Amino acid sequence: MNDKWNSFSLKKYDKFGHPFGCLKPNSARSYEELLLCIAEGENNEPEVVPSITPPNNGVLLIANAYPVEYGHIFLVPNATNQLSSFWDKRMFGLITKIASEVNSAAFRVFFDDGTSIVPKHMFFQACYFANPLPVESSSTVALYDGATRSGICVSEIVDYPLKALVFTSTNVNALVDVVSEACLALHENNTVHSLMMSNNGRNVFLFPQVKNLVTGCCLSAWECCGYFVYHTKVDFDRAS
């Protein structure tokens, strides 16, 4: 339970200011919550470089003041060099590599289509879950097995309340290309969708959605995966 956080708390944004050139979620309350900036370098091995100005091609890691789980952070592309306000394949590739290098089965990355949460601003969230989320334990049916050709396998989740596809690959570049193409096609069709990345960046779950006609809202990526946050014990008891 968390009495501060809700799935649409990210609708309100504050300017993060110079020199970062990006927008800061209102769940990050101060500059102190900027943890670091990750960018691709020329060296094969990762290194820490002290700097007062984040690189233009980097991803800012910002702590969430109201975490929903352990290690809850925002991953925000530095907007001064972002190719697209909705989807930047290069930044998605970098975040996929971050998930791979974290090298923890508990680490999950989430993304909500900008049409459902915050229009025209691309950002991700991530945190650690000790146990598999419900969608990860669901059965799948193979739709496309291109492991020997393209390096990509596509499956459909079955016996689950929501429609979902799973893209699986050990080839980061191939995975980024296919998922990016799918997300851009959905966005151009005004179809709200969410993503969840797991298994060290090798699995990407895609959830196309239809807006609830009563509330006018869609589920967040957390909720699509079967994880819900309640504000009070009464709400939790009612749901369970």
Q: Quick one: pLDDT at residue 168?
A: 96
pLDDT of residue 142: 95
pTM of the predicted protein model: 0.77
For 74-89, write each residue's pLDDT tens digit.
888 775 545 455 677 8
Question: 14: burial class by Cβ within 10 Å (0-12, 13-18, 19+)?
Answer: exposed
**How wide is the angle at C-alpha 167 spanned by C-alphas 161 and 171, nearest 5°?**
160
H helices, E strands: number in the chain = 4, 12
CA 143 – CA 205 distance, rounded (Å): 14
Tens-place pLDDT, residues 219-232: 889 889 998 877 67
pLDDT of 107 higher than 90: yes
Indicate the pLDDT class of residue 111, thresholds 50, 70 and 90: very high
Sign of CA dihedral 100, 101, 106, 108: negative
Q: Domains, the chain, ranges and CATH?
A: 9-239 (3.30.428)
**Taking all residues of the chain, what is their mean pLDDT, rounded to a whole number?**
76
Is 79 or 213 the better-scoring residue by pLDDT?
Answer: 79
CB 136 within 8 A of CB 110: no
Q: Look up residue 92 and give its two tokens.
A: 């998605």
Give the range among 28-32, 69-73, 213-217, 233-237 with minimum mean pLDDT: 28-32
Whether the pLDDT of residue 237 is over 70: the answer is yes
Reply yes or no on whether the pLDDT at 214 is more than 70.
no
Kindly report, residue by residue over 166-208, the tens digit of the pLDDT: 999 999 999 999 999 999 999 888 888 999 999 999 999 999 9
Q: What is the pLDDT of residue 38?
A: 75
pLDDT band at 141 (very low <50, low <70, confident <90, very high): very high
pLDDT of amino acid 166: 98
